[in-house]
């Protein structure tokens, strides 16, 4: 039995999947957070939060690495950790630093930091010869305006260190660029109290379908578990509205996406990681968008498990303690699985989501989660504002997405606007 240190977590699905994987693997964990109430607020009423199943729940300033490293070193002498994990993007570099400081398994801090910074990823991949969009890293608005004129519109403006699509916007002219930059300026600190880097990334707009490649890298070898497709809406934002695993692609496109992901992971020097690499399949070939050194969110990890029997959360635990991951496919009875998200169109208060009873009895349904009446509804153009999701499978072929879309069409979210 191994003992893991878990430094922070998301409050969504992975806050449940990772503790489950640790428990089912016969291990235990100590949970370290700067704000336990952040998690307790997200627990369904009347239930215990999975993170409270930890052997220990400890509080420290996880944003202050200088103080944190000696603190976890003292903890390690008493609690004897075998690995360090997190499911929260904002603490992946911290976990890599802790693992390196304690001599525990894990990717190098430099590799993780380069993967977690979108500007650094672009530079590393370009230096390695991987084709990508034209891009510029801009320190302020005037630099962004000048760079945009040089690259040419349309462009994508991105913060370099936020996640869930926050403040990522398509801009078609200088006025839109200035508005997008101004909106980002108004968000100087992320949701975990960490100051955001002031630079922005401008990229040439890539055309074509977007997929993600789910991989596990261990001992210098990357194994591709599969390719997931995604649907995106909410222009000029980029909101993920659904996913299907495996992606319904021609074999050549699947192979190209897989190869690009493996090359990107190698270029970044990542090892000992489960990764989720997003790729655009452009007319000129696959182009990496992001390399995330953690299991996929947005229910993709569960789609993979439903179809292949492979638990990527469990693989994350195994590589964190230096053990070869178990990636043997199993017969699950499903050929494809998909998820679709209920995306709000306006801010306000949720009055009701109608149609849930009809969906709940549908054939092939795997999950149905709907927000309750009275929920405050935001429409901020990110993946953080869903009002629920539908997940379904298809035992015959790649029909799971069509099934999910049909079920979503039965739902009607009634929002009282402000």
User: What 8-state DSSP symbol labels residue 228?
Assistant: E
Q: Is the pLDDT of residue 46 over 60?
A: no
SS3 338: strand
Q: So what's the pLDDT on residue 385?
A: 87
Tokens read off for 367: 């999950």
Any idea which residue has 């390719």 for tokens? 227
Q: Which run of H or of E encompasses 390?
A: strand 388-394
Q: In this structure, is the dihedral angle defined by the CA atoms of residues 94, 97, 101 and 105, taken in order, positive or negative?
A: positive
Q: Is the pLDDT of residue 45 over 60?
A: no
Domain with CATH 3.30.470.20 in the chain: 206-332, 336-418
Domain with CATH 3.30.1490.20 in the chain: 133-204
CA angle, 92 as apex, 274 and 212 as ends, to 5°? Answer: 40
- How does pLDDT run across 367-382, given as a tens digit for each residue? 999 999 989 998 878 8
Domain with CATH 3.40.50.20 in the chain: 3-104
Note the Cα 4 to chain centre separation in Å.
21
Domain 336-418: which CATH number of 3.90.50.10, 3.30.470.20, 3.40.50.1390, 3.30.300.130 = 3.30.470.20
Q: Is the pLDDT of residue 56 over 70?
A: yes
Q: Is the pLDDT of residue 202 over 60?
A: yes
What is the pTM (predicted TM-score) of this model?
0.95
* 383-388 mean pLDDT: 89
CATH, range 3-104: 3.40.50.20
- How does pLDDT run across 235-262, given as a tens digit for each residue? 999 999 999 999 999 999 999 999 999 9
Q: Which run of H or of E encompasses 393?
A: strand 388-394
Any idea which residue has 């208060």 for tokens? 349
Q: So what's the pLDDT on residue 417?
A: 86
Alpha carbons 202 and 139: distance in angstroms, whole number: 11
173 C-beta neighbours (distance < 10 Å), count: 11
Q: What are phi and psi of 318, to 5 degrees?
A: -65, -45
CA angle, 220 as apex, 6 and 218 as ends, to 5°? Answer: 35
> Which stretches of 50-144 are assigned E, i.e. beta strand?
56-59, 83-85, 135-138
Q: Report CA-CA distances (Å) from 308 to 215, 231, 301, 311, 364.
A: 13, 22, 11, 8, 16
Q: So what's the pLDDT on residue 43?
A: 64
Under the banding of pLDDT at 50, 70 and 90, the label for residue 11 is confident
Q: Could you please state the CATH topology (level 3) that the domain comprising 133-204 is classified under.
A: Dna Ligase; domain 1 (3.30.1490)
Domain 206-332: which CATH number of 3.30.470.20, 3.40.50.300, 3.40.50.80, 3.90.550.10 = 3.30.470.20
3-state secondary structure 140-207: CHHHHHHHHHHHCCCEEEEECCCCCCCCCEEECCHHHHHHHHHHHHCCCECCCCCECCCCEEEEECCC
Cβ contact 377:284 at 8 Å: no
Under the banding of pLDDT at 50, 70 and 90, the label for residue 345 is confident
Question: Who's near 378: CB < 8 A, 6+ residues apart?
Answer: 344, 347, 384, 385
SS3 78: helix
User: Where does 239-355 have alpha helices with state H?
Assistant: 251-268, 300-308, 312-320
Tokens read off for 8: 């922070």
Q: So what's the pLDDT on residue 49?
A: 78
């Amino acid at each position: 039995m191994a003992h893991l240190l878990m430094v922070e977590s998301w409050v969504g699905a992975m806050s449940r999947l990772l503790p489950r994987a640790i428990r089912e693997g016969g291990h235990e964990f100590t949970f370290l957070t700067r704000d336990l109430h952040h998690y307790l607020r997200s627990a369904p009423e009347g239930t215990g939060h999975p993170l409270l199943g930890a052997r220990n729940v400890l509080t420290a300033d996880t944003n202050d690495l200088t103080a944190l490293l000696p603190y976890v070193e003292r903890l390690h002498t008493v609690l004897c950790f075998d690995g360090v994990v997190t499911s929260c993007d904002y603490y992946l570099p911290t976990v890599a630093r802790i693992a390196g400081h304690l001599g525990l398994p894990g990717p190098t801090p430099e590799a993780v930091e380069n993967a977690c910074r979108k500007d650094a990823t672009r530079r590393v991949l370009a230096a390695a010869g991987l084709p990508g969009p034209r891009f510029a890293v801009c320190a302020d608005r005037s630099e962004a305006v000048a760079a945009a004129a040089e690259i040419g519109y349309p462009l994508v403006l991105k913060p370099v260190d936020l996640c869930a699509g926050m403040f990522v916007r398509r801009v078609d002219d200088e006025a839109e660029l200035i508005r997008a930059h101004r909106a980002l300026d108004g968000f100087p600190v992320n949701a975990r109290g960490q100051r955001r880097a002031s630079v922005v990334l401008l990229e040439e707009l890539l055309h074509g379908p977007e997929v993600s490649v789910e991989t596990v890298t261990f001992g210098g070898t990357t194994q591709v578990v599969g390719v997931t497709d995604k649907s995106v809406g909410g222009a000029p934002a980029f909101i993920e509205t659904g996913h299907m695993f495996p992606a319904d692609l021609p074999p050549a496109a699947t192979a190209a996406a897989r190869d690009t992901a493996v090359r990107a992971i190698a270029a970044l020097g990542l090892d000992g990681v489960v990764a989720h690499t997003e790729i655009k399949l452009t007319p000129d070939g696959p182009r990496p968008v992001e390399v995330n050194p953690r299991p996929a969110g947005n229910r993709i990890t569960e789609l993979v498990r439903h179809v292949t029997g492979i638990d990527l959360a469990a693989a994350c635990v195994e590589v964190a303690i230096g053990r070869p991951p178990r990636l043997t496919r199993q017969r699950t009875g499903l050929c494809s699985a998909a998820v679709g998200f209920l995306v709000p169109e306006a801010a306000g208060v949720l009055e009701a989501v109608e149609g849930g009873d009809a969906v709940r009895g549908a054939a092939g349904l795997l999950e149905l989660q709907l927000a309750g009446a009275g929920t405050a509804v935001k429409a901020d153009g990110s993946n953080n504002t869903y009002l629920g999701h539908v997940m379904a499978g298809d035992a015959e072929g790649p029909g799971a997405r069509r099934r999910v879309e049909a079920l979503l069409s039965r739902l009607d979210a009634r929002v009282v606007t402000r």
